[in-house]
Amino acid sequence: MSELSESRIKHGDRVLIVTETGHRYFLTLRKGQIFHTADGYFETDKIASLIEGGEVRSNIGRRGVVFRPLLLEHLLSLPRRTQIIYPKDFGFILVLSGIRPGSRVVEGGTGSGVLALLLAAYVAPNGKIYSYDIDGENFPAITKMAERLGLSDVLELKKGDIYSSVEEVDLDAFIVDVPQPWDAVDQAKKSLRGGGMFVSIVPTVEQLVKTSEKLRGRGFLEYFSGELMIRPWRVRQGMTRPHHISRAHTVFIIAARKTEFESLSDWTLKLPDGLR
């Protein structure tokens, strides 16, 4: 099969249509389906066999382009009841955690599963993500998405307490998005390999301080504590300016590395190059 034929859209594919008005529509192509939108309706039989990036038109002539969704676009379609982690934070978490294909990582709490699935995609095909959640309410939806993305063998969902019930050891990273991450530090110390990374996501300054102090008190070398800002721009000749709405504070991110020291509370710590 040629690369061109493999890139063609087919019935059964999950696709994204972006129209000239800026609307974005997600659908799974079914034979004979009529997909109604604010830009008119699209006939799925006319979309099947197009290449990614191909042009589609609605019944009222509205133009659009069709793609298969990116990994992040798949994940953001999952139902979310807890705080949202934004793409700017996802990327930095991946960099700070040091994970790569083959890494073994514990993550918790699972919540909507977005972070767990993203991590799974980056450690695949031979790595493993063990995602802990106290109730597992969203496990069925996450399992279905893992199957769709081909990550079922990489992601293991576990019902348990991230603070004290983690079974795995010699881990490369321990990543938590929970209300009291400082209570997970002792468990992380037991579970991580030497030099393994602890990463926590918290919304408030009080949580940031308590987690940072606990990490230093348990011999973790702090790599970063802070937040990321992003400022998108509207780019048009003669009218280029920042968008009126931007994502300023979303979460604080704390990253620290396991050492053999019992405590580093009396150390003077400086940010590594590139993070100052």
Domains along the sequence of the chain with CATH: 3-67 (3.10.330.20), 73-258 (3.40.50.150)
Q: Residue 225 pLDDT > 90, yes or no?
A: yes
Tens of pLDDT, residue by residue over 108-128, are 999 989 999 999 999 999 999
Q: Residue 275 pLDDT > 80, yes or no?
A: no
For residue 47 the two structure tokens come to 């979309």
pLDDT at residue 81 in the model: 59
Q: What is the mean pLDDT of residues 80-87?
A: 68
Q: List helix spans (H) across 70-197.
A: 71-75, 87-97, 114-123, 139-149, 185-191
| Band of pLDDT at residue 1, cut at 50, 70 and 90 | very low
Q: Residue 83 pLDDT > 70, yes or no?
A: no
- Percentage of the chain beyond pLDDT 70 is 95
Cβ contacts of residue 264 below 8 Å, gap of 6+? Answer: 216, 217, 219, 220, 221, 222
SS3 assignment, position 249: coil
Strand bridging mode 241-242 / 233-234: antiparallel
| Band of pLDDT at residue 69, cut at 50, 70 and 90 | very high
Q: How far is CA 23 from CA 15, 19, 40, 65, in A?
A: 14, 5, 12, 11
| Band of pLDDT at residue 217, cut at 50, 70 and 90 | very high
Mean pLDDT over the full length of the chain: 92
Q: Residue 82 pLDDT > 80, yes or no?
A: no
How far is the C-alpha of 40 from the C-alpha of 86, rounded, in Å?
31
Q: Residue 5 pLDDT > 70, yes or no?
A: no
Q: Residue 157 pLDDT > 70, yes or no?
A: yes
pLDDT at residue 189 in the model: 97
| Band of pLDDT at residue 272, cut at 50, 70 and 90 | confident
From the list 216, 217, 228, the residue with the least C-alpha distance to 256 is 216
- Percentage of the chain beyond pLDDT 90 is 79
Tens of pLDDT, residue by residue over 21-51, are 999 999 999 999 999 999 999 999 999 999 9
Q: Residue 168 pLDDT > 70, yes or no?
A: yes
Q: Residue 176 pLDDT > 80, yes or no?
A: yes
pLDDT at residue 73 in the model: 85
